[in-house]
Amino acid sequence: MIGDGNRGAVIADARVFQEDWVPGDMRHRDAELNLMASALEPVVAGEPGNELLLTGPSGTGKTCSAKFLLGKLRERVLDVDTQYVNCWSDYTRYRVLFRILDGIDSAEAIRNHSSASDLLERLRATDTPVVVILDEVDQLAEPTVLYDLYELPHVEMILIANGEAEVLAGIDDRLHSRLRTATRVSFDRYGTDALVSILDQRVQTGLQPGVVGRSELESIARAANGNARDAIAVLRSAAQLAESRDEEAITDAVVDDAVSDARTRVRRTLLEKLNDHQRVLYDLIAAEEPIGPGTLYEAYERAVEEPRTKRTLRSYLKKMEQYSLVVAEGAAQGRQYRTGDPGPDDRS
């Protein structure tokens, strides 16, 4: 059994630094949460709600806000199922439907469903209302699954992406018209004071008293450039570095080192998220940077057995740009790609 011996001189509760940790209250997102809650309020009364489309840069609280809202919904409604799907990893129609059912149905019930159509019928047969978060929805290889889910009256969707244009680019006209009625919620980057407040929320729960001051939190917030995920990554690295050095406080020197450490962690995490085709593109850019789109596409088509369309590749490159894994310089025929430097203190 793991007891208090797991508590360090700096870290009191490591769980608050995990990416999937949801705080008891969401700070600095009241307006966005109110708009989201209004869209889902009919679900409380057993009626269909309205689809939500959350957009904004990485680290602005979209995913955390959606999970927080569903937690509040479960507190008020007894008969409702909720599920989270990351479409970056579950990007096919089958995998999306399987992930939804895996969260609300028994493994035995869905084990023998060998096709997406079978899974859809199983989901159609469920009686309980379902609210599903589809994160990184612009990464779907088969966006027709959105139409499948839209046609189910007991299923509500919360779609999350960096930008609306990326979501709409891959869908057909019938889904375009349906999504016109979705409630749109835009998330902007956090200011320094807001990030300090968000970090302090983790400090109060996750760190021992008095190990970090406001000035150090402000330094972390400035390094993160409005990105809460990056700010939390730096704070986590700072706490781990302080403990590994047998220090009892997070100093400015520790913060400086933590920024570099967190950048490495962020890059590794993002690279692990890339699907096989995205990773081929990234490796080709890293090997030949800077590289033009024409040369890149030709090299990609030689490198894979079943190449995706150029439109899909542009979508992949756009996603990597949004996370600063890739930087595009120039326009049209003069465009060149090079690898970027994602993570804390990235000002691009």
pTM score: 0.91
Q: What CATH architecture applies to the domain 274-339?
A: Orthogonal Bundle (1.10)
What angle is formed at CA 26 by the lines to CA 161 and CA 196, rounded to 5 degrees? 95
Q: Residue 180 has what pLDDT?
A: 86
Average pLDDT over residues 55-64: 96
142-181 pLDDT per residue, tens: 999 999 999 999 999 999 999 998 888 878 888 888 888 8
Tell me which CATH code domain 191-270 carries. 1.10.8.60
Tokens of 135: 């994160």
184-218 pLDDT per residue, tens: 999 999 999 999 999 999 999 999 999 999 999 99
Tell me which CATH code domain 30-186 carries. 3.40.50.300
220-263 pLDDT per residue, tens: 999 999 999 999 999 999 999 999 999 999 999 999 999 999 99
Whether residue 109 has pLDDT greater than 70 = no
Interstrand relation of 155-161 and 52-55 (parallel, antiparallel or unpaired): parallel
> Where are the chain's structural domains?
30-186, 191-270, 274-339
Whether residue 3 has pLDDT greater than 60 = no
